[in-house]
Amino acid sequence: MKSTFENFTLIDHPLIKRDVTILRDEKTTPELFRGAVHRISNILAVEIGRSFKISETTVETPLERTAGYQLVQEVVLVPVLRAGLGMVSGFLEIIPDAKAGHILLQRDEVTLKPVGYYYKTPRNIDNSTVILLDPMLATGGSGSEAIKYLKDHGAKNLVFACLVAAPEGITKLMNDHPDIKIYGAALDRELNNKGYILPGLGDAGDRTFGTL
């Protein structure tokens, strides 16, 4: 479903709505939180996969040769650590032959600017479909920084998959990277004065890994 933002596709699905409610609930344990992130990531992977290009091939069934299909482009998943790690298993379940890179960014709690610690992505991602995974798109600083790194390393076909997005973050990505499509499970109201998404779900990394 298209949202009011040209660059943002809100995945409107009853199962996503149920699972986003589980994520928002302050009483949800890390175990149940990770389960809901996994299931939403499954659905996001299916939806993002709609735009993948396929080519025809043939396949031998036990009975005869018939037409088949294969993905044209390699898929590279790039979670932004920590919280993006929770989305990897759900995407890999749907795209098991995807490769993965990792970017470790930490948002400075005062300036809200991302600080980069670690970057590792597969070589030659120029022709790959690169899916950046980060559950929270808040100010957009982390997302914008990660996209810049991936573009600097050759990525041309790049999408951003998140769970909860704030209008401020979507607008920043639209200004910094107008070519990037964002897919999300929820579009929330606004940021508070500490850069947290409202109503949101709190700190996604802490809730995923129980570090509250």
Q: In angstroms, give the least distance from the CB of 142 to ligand URA.
A: 8
Task: Rule CB under 6 A: say whether 140 interacts with ligand PRP.
Answer: yes
Strand arrangement, sheet containing 164-165: 136-137, 164-165, 186-187
Beta partners for residue 79, in sequence order: 133
Nearer to ligand URA, 83 or 180 (CB): 83
Q: Which of residues 94-123 bind ligand PRP (CB under 6 A)?
A: 105-107, 112, 114
Question: 156, 125, 44: which is closest to 90 by C-alpha?
Answer: 44
Coil, helix or strand at residue 159: strand
Residues with catalytic function: 107, 111, 203, 206
Task: Rule CB under 6 A: say whether 74 interacts with ligand PRP.
Answer: no
Sequence-distant (≥ 6) Cβ neighbours of residue 88 within 8 angstroms: 41, 77, 79, 100, 133
86, interface contact from ligand PRP, ligand URA, none, CB < 5-8 Å by kind? none
Residues that bind ligand PRP in the complex, under the rule CB under 6 A: 80, 82-83, 105-107, 112, 114, 134-143, 169, 195, 203-205
